[in-house]
Amino acid sequence: MRWELLSGGELELLDGFIAPGESELLFEQLSRVVPWQRRSIRIAGRMVAEPRLTAWIGDPGAVYTYSGRTNEPTPWPDALRALRTRLCASLGNEFNAVLCNLYEDGSSSMGLHADREPELGPDPLIASVSLGATRRFQLRHRKLHDQKLDLDLTAGSLLIMRGTVQSHYRHGVPKQPRVQAARINLTFRRILPS
């Protein structure tokens, strides 16, 4: 499915980008090999614990700063390197880093935000792979409050954000108390040289 958004953004959802058996295996591998951490970030001027576990993985030099924290990349595990190769070939984009998010259950969340850091450049392409539990993805226009979209992202799905999505929209993963299982989300990016 594809959505042409106001203000020049584009969203595309490919359900089943990763087959069910492969998706389950990848979830189990990444649960074990990714160096998950719960760290603090700056929100509204104060430091708070992230409401999920994260890891920043990438090529040497792919340093990423967001929410008051500078992230030095850790090396690619084989399973993530293979997925990066597949995504680069499918999308014709050279990703050099991935932000890994582990939502332990429906109480883990990600507030509305935009990925507008300078090291991403203008209008970045971000490829978001979901594994594990189905979770709600929310997209909201910054100024036009009637321009919004809610999607349920299933295991193995690929969500692609292109164009001006990061400039004109915010996105997030709200709490869903009824969700009891874990979800891994992998957002592949291209970090530009400083």
Query: How many Å separate Cα 23 from the centre of its chain?
Result: 16
Q: Does residue 69 lie in a domain region?
A: yes
8 A C-beta contact, residue 57 and residue 102: no
Pick from 183, 180, 186: nearest CA to 135: 183
CA distance 158 to 150: 15
8 A C-beta contact, residue 162 and residue 1: no
Q: Does residue 194 lie in a domain region?
A: no
Query: Residues 51-62: pLDDT tens digits?
Result: 899 999 999 999
What confidence score (pLDDT) does residue 49 get? 83
Pick from 112, 176, 173: nearest CA to 141: 112
**Number of domains composing the chain:** 1
Pick from 52, 14, 20: nearest CA to 36: 52
Residue in this structure with the two tokens 């203000």, named with its chain if needed: 7
Region of 118 (left: φ > 0; alpha: ψ -120 to 50; beta: rest) is: alpha
DSSP label of 123 = S
User: What residues make up the domain containing 155?
Assistant: 2-189
Q: Does residue 82 lie in a domain region?
A: yes
What confidence score (pLDDT) does residue 194 get? 74
What confidence score (pLDDT) does residue 103 get? 97
CATH of the domain at 112: 2.60.120.590
Q: Does residue 143 lie in a domain region?
A: yes
Q: Please list the ranges in the chain whose pLDDT falls under 70.
A: none
CA distance 26 to 30: 6
Q: Does residue 127 lie in a domain region?
A: yes
Q: Does residue 167 lie in a domain region?
A: yes
